[in-house]
Amino acid sequence: MKMIFSELIYLDKNYISLTSNNEHYLKIQRGFFYDFESIFSGEISLNFNELMEAISNADKPYTDKQIKKLKNIQSILFKYIDENNSQRVVDKIKELM
């Protein structure tokens, strides 16, 4: 899930999360790497009915508040938001050789 979620954030894409077992995961299992509600910019559904409602609203654009949250999350997860990642890898490899 992490990979898909982070790629969607990187690409400014809307997404929906279904997390019907948050309490179990937080209290009994290992918990979350990040504070779940602060790091997800998409809709968080806690049950099937909320998921269906979120899907029905999925075509609506982000609000200004959601855009601000998304940009904040991007700044936490990514050092760069551009098309130069491959070039940075090449440059780093050359530097290390």
Query: In Å, how far are 5, 25, 59, 79, 83 from 62, measured between CA atoms?
Result: 16, 28, 9, 23, 23
Q: Which domain holds residue 86?
A: 2-96
Contact 9, 70 (CB under 8 A): yes
Check whether 26 has a pLDDT greater than 80: no
pLDDT-derived band at 91 (thresholds 50, 70, 90) equals very high
**Which DSSP string corresponds to 5-49?**
HHHHHHTT---EEE-TTHHHHHHTS---SS-HHHH--SEEESSHH
State the pTM of this model.
0.65
**pLDDT above 50 for 13:** yes
For the stretch 37-87, pLDDT in tens is 777 777 788 889 999 998 998 888 888 888 888 888 888 888 888 889 899
What is the domain count for the chain?
Answer: 1
